[in-house]
Every structure is written in C-alpha cells, then in structure tokens.
Amino acid sequence: MMLILLALFPILCAPIAYAAGRKNRSIAVMVGATAIELIALLAVVFTSFNATLELPGVCGMGMRMAIDGFRGLYASIACVMWLVTSIFSRDYLKHDHAPGRYALFTLITQGATVGLLLSDSIYTAFLFFEVMSLASYPWVAHEEDHGAMRAAQTYLYVAVIGGLVMLMGILMLPQGLATAPFEQLHGDESLLVPALLILVGFGAKAGAFPLHIWLPKAHPVAPAPASSLLSGMLTKAGVFGMLVLTLRLMHGVTAFADIIFRLGVITMFLGALLAIFSTNLKRTLACSSLSQIGFIMVGVGVQGLCHNQNGLAAFGTIQHMMNHSLFKLVLFLLAGVVAMNAHALSLNEVKGFGRKKPLMHFCYLMAMLGIAGIPGWSGYISKSLLHEGLLEYIHELVHAGHAAGFYEFCEIVFIVSGGMTLCYMFKLYICLFWQKNETRQAEYDGMKKYMSAPSAIALTLCACIIPVLGLFPHTFMTRVGQLAQPFFGAADPHHMPVPYFSAENLIGAAKSIAVGAVLYAVQYFLVMSKGNYPERWPKKLDLEDSVYRPLMRLLIILGGAFAFACDKLMDIGIVVMKAAGGAVAMLCNKLGDGTALTVRRLFLPRVHEKHPAPVGTRLTYGLGRMMDSAAALVNKNVETPYESVLAALRDEAHADFKRVTKSISFGLVMFCVGLLVTLVWLLLL
C-alpha cells in the first residue's frame, strides 16, 4: 500500500502548504513534504523492490501500481528534483506573490508524477497523467501577466486536447487491455491506430514535434524552479508513455517504432535550431529541452527497430533521460539566479551577469560540458551509446541487404545536432561569463550574495554529480542501464563492460565538437551584431500563431455554423412533428370522442354537458372563484378577479414552457435525464 501512499502523500500535504502560505510558511511546508516523500520512496526502493499493488474497482476500472529498477530509479530522481527546486524556491519566491498557490499545485503535481512513474497499466498512467497536466497549469500562469496567460492558454489547450485524444485511443483498445499489467502487453499491428492516438497525448507532454509549441513559450514565463521541473521531469512523463507504447503495447511493430524515430530526428534538429536563434535565456534552455527530448526519442525508436539487439540503445536512452533531468535542473536554477537578481532574461540585458561569480561559473560549466557531450562528462556517455545504437541498426540493415540511406542521413543529423547543442550552450556561456554589459556591468559585479547558502549547496552538489558520472561510467552509468533493462525488455550490449571511451565514440564526439565550433563562428560573424543578439528567427515560422491558432478559430467558426444548422433543422423537425402529431392527435381525439359517446349512450345514464369556463381552464376558474370568496370575507369593499389573474399566469407559464421545449438544450437535458434513469435502473438490476 506504500505505492499508492507515495502518490497521495504530497497531494494530502498540498492544502496544508496552501494554508501556511497566509503566514509565508508554505515553501517551508513544501520543503518538508518533499523531503519526507524522498525518504519514504527510498525506503520502499530498498525494502520492497518489485512490489506490485492492485486496487480493483477504484476509479471505475481499477488501478495497478508497481516498482522495479526503472520506475524506482526515475521516481527517486523526480523526488530529488522536487526537493532541490523546493529549497531553491525559498529564494526565488521570497518577494513573489501567491507562494501558497505555487506550493499547493507543486505538491499536487509531484504526487501525480510519482503515481504516473509507478503505474502499471495504461489506464492508471492516464489517470495520473491528467492530474499532472492540469495541476501544472498554474505554474505557467503564475505571473498572471499577458504573456503568462497566453502561454498558459497554449499549455492548457495542448494538455486537454492531447488528453482527450489519448482517452479516445484507450477506449479503442480491446477489453481488459487498458487495465492489464505492462508485462502482459504484447505487440499487435491491429492496435496501431489506438496506439497512435495514445501517442498524441504522451508526445504532447514530451514536447515532440509537431506538438512542441508549448515548450518554448511556457518556460520563459514560469518560475525558474517550475521550469526545471517542466523540462527535466514532466517531459519524461511523456517519454515514459512512449516507452510503454513502443516496448510493450507495440513491441515488434516496426512501423510504430519508425514513427517515434522519425519524429525524434525532427524534434532533435528543430529544437537545436530554435535554440541557436533564441535571444532569451530561458527560451534557449526550453528549446534545448526540445532537442534533448529528440535525442531520447531517437533512442526509444532505435530500441523498437532493433528488437532483441537493443542493448546499446536501451542503455543510452535511460542514461540520457537521467542526464537531461540533471542538466536542466542545474541550468534552469542558474537561469533563476539570473532572473531574480537581474530581473531580466534577454541575452542583451543579462550579458556579463556571471562575471566574478566563480560558483555560478563552475556550475554552468559542468552542465554545459555535460549536455554538449564532451568526454569526461556524463552527457558524452549517453550520447555515445545512442549513436552506437543507431550505427548498430544501420549495420543490421546493410547486412540484411536493406536500404539504409535514410538512417545514414539521420546519423549525420544526430552528429550535427550534437554540434548545435555545443553552439547554443557556448553562446550562453560567452554571453553570461565573458562579455561585458554596456550599462549594468558595475551593478552585476557588485552582487556578492546572489543566492542563499542552502540553494548554493544544493546547486553545487547537483553540478558535481555530472563529471563524477562521466569519469566513472562503469561504476554508475552501467548500473543505471542494468536497472532499466527489465522494464525495457532489453538485451545486454554486445560488449560488456561497455567500451565508453572507444576510438569510435571519441571520434563521434570530436565530430560534434568540430561542428559546434564552426556553427558558433558562423553565428558570431553572421547572426550577432557588434556583440549583441538581434532577433533573427522569422515570426511567420511560429507554428502556433501561423497554423494552430488560425486552425482553432476556423474550427470554432465551422462548429458554430454546424450547431446553428443543427438548431434550425431541429426547429423544423419540431414544427413538422408538431403538425403531424397534431393531426394524429386530432384524429385520435375524434375517434375517442365518438367511441366514448357511443359507450356512454349504451351503458351510462345521461348527464348534463359541462360548459367551458368563462376565463382560463376549469381548474384556474374554480380556484379563482374560491380565492374571490376568501378575499370578500376579509374585505368586502375590494373586488379582485382572481380567476382572471390565474388564467393569465397559466397562459404565461404555458407560453414559456412551449418556448423552452422548442430549444435544443431542453432536448439535451431530457436525453441526459433519460440516460441517468436508464443507468440507475441497470445498476439496480
């Protein structure tokens, strides 16, 4: 039961943190809750490995949760990230508004993320995925200005539409498959359509092309601690779903794995290109996340393509997932240091901020060298294995006599994208730590205490992990790959121990470094202007503004026209049905009158025929006469024709009822009432 408690504990602590926010103690409660969550999770990892939990009937279809090497490792990484960002939030939100609200939704998102990572069925993953998506929306809207609200609107659109499409795919799965444990899922080509629909939801959260539009816009406006979680962890929730789909539900279906691979290549290159042209610090890091998710998707796709020979790709995928979470934790928190001291994010304004700040310089340098894949840092290890896995698949195609030209081209894109990573990270490095600001350099140089001691310690420890993992890969990185093997269903790499520093891997890294150096030189001389960073990316190429928002407006117009046409058709149908019904009713009435008159004359005595009421119906007239008599007893001098008042009220109510019953809304309400009654009747049976 600890598995479900691990997901519920942060959610239960969230209202406490919100209430404490009135006394500015919400962040302290959040730090305490995340620390307890991490300790509890580690206790479960070390004492209840491979535990499972089934809760039949919960949320309708039942829930399944499990913990193994991969899920335990990544849930632990998530809790570490939440703890570090919570510690940093004490500095970042010290003078900000709504710390209670921020703590509330941060803890709810943590619980949902841990629940997702520990889920053991597609349905359970979907439930936690939706809670996570909606609870993280206030992060993006936190500042509540125009830019934040527009980015939050985009984030919510993508999350809701992606979730609905995912639900459609889940409902299309055969009975019992959505609630089956992951290990019981087997590849089936007939499930390609529902798998693609589910992929839309997970791909949107991962930031995969073409649903990446929220990433570059959400990160610049969200608080820096939230940005590090959005980039480093919530995108991995989407990757988690891709792994389940590729390696479980669609295992052995080459077409599905190839789709993941191709989308990964596009995402990898596009993100790096956007980062090179970006002139905003956090936007550059957001586009970098887009590119690194592309690298991970390439690894997921190669695993599916290689089938039983996917050891290298599997090791590289989990290692780069962990690396990217670590890199973005450090980089976005450093961006937060810049934002809360300089109150700016434009590269032209924050230029020179890092000068004479050795601790910040060291932390950024570790993260930059790691994400750029420089030998000796952890990013080199994971990128080398991803590259080797791709080369291994190309070798298999050539050996089998199949065409491999497209994948050889993708291998070149992989090398170039690695060089582009070095280019944009080196751009930020030069901008922050070597260039001088024309107007604010003295102010920046005078900032000696730019973050608190707890934040500095947490940030430095995270930065120091990067070279340790890179220098001792057999001790740490190989173990990480082995922990993920059972979940991935991956074979061992051909060579054990893995030759991380082989000549082939070093040559691949050298190629990327050379490409990065050339691209930075081109950018410096052709893109930059006298040491400044002008906006060069054409706004017309923005997918959201040029494609998605116009498409949404068109759909709204078409939907409105369709609804109007349906309403008119409904009105016409009601008129026709009334006319037909009136004719039938009149005929039946005449037949009934004739039959009743015949029966009465044969079997019943004659009665006096009743005359119609002078005003209204006989009921309103009778009640009105009674009320007239009662009023006369009270006051004989006042005459009130209540029979006329009741008749007028009856006519008005009748007219209103007719107007209501003619609307389509009344029909929908009656449909829902009938459906509810039917469901209750079925449940009682």
Alpha-carbon gap, residue 129 to 109, rounded angstroms: 10
Bridge partners, residue 280, by sequence = 346
Position 45 pLDDT exceeds 80: yes
The mean per-residue pLDDT over the stretch 451-455 comes to: 86
Report the pLDDT averaged over residues 19-34.
82
At residue 10, the pLDDT reads 92
Average pLDDT over residues 571-585: 69
Q: Which residue has the tokens 């901020």?
A: 353
- pLDDT at position 607 over 50: no
Lowest mean pLDDT among 94-103, 330-339, 355-364, 659-668: 659-668
**For the ranges 44-58, 85-99, 453-467, the one whose mean pLDDT is highest:** 453-467
Tokens of 625: 């006469």
Cα distances from 538 to residues 37, 146, 275, 534, 643, in angstroms, run 45, 22, 14, 12, 76
| Interval 59-74: pLDDT, tens | 778 888 888 888 889 9
| Mean pLDDT of the 145-164 span | 86
pLDDT greater than 80 at residue 146: yes
Q: Compute the distance between CA of residue 61 and CA of residue 124 in angstroms, rounded to an integer.
A: 9
Q: What is the pLDDT of residue 212?
A: 80
Among the ranges 181-185, 374-378, 490-494, 566-570, which has the highest mean pLDDT value? 374-378
Average pLDDT score over the chain = 83
pLDDT tens sequence across 379-395: 999 999 999 989 888 88
pLDDT at position 582 over 80: no
Q: Which residue has the higher pLDDT, 476 or 589?
A: 476
Provide Rg for the chain, Cα atoms: 33
Q: Is pLDDT above 70 for 227?
A: yes
Residue 361 confidence class, pLDDT cut points 50, 70, 90: very high
Question: Which pLDDT does position 578 carry in this prediction?
Answer: 67
Q: Are 267 and 291 in contact (CB under 8 A)?
A: yes
Position 623 pLDDT exceeds 80: no
* Per-position DSSP letters for 136-177, written without gaps between them: THHHHTTT-SHHHHHHHHHHHHHHHHHHHHHHHHHHHSPTTT
- Cβ atoms within 10 Å of 615's Cβ, excluding its own: 15
Region 511-522 average pLDDT: 90
Beta-carbon contacts of 227 under 8 Å, excluding residues fewer than 6 positions away, are 218, 219, 282, 285, 286, 332, 335, 336
Q: Which of 208-212, 242-246, 642-646, 667-671 has the highest mean pLDDT?
A: 242-246
Is the pLDDT assigned to residue 595 strictly greater than 70? no
- The predicted model gives 297-304 an average pLDDT of 91
Least confident of 246-250, 517-521, 614-618: 614-618
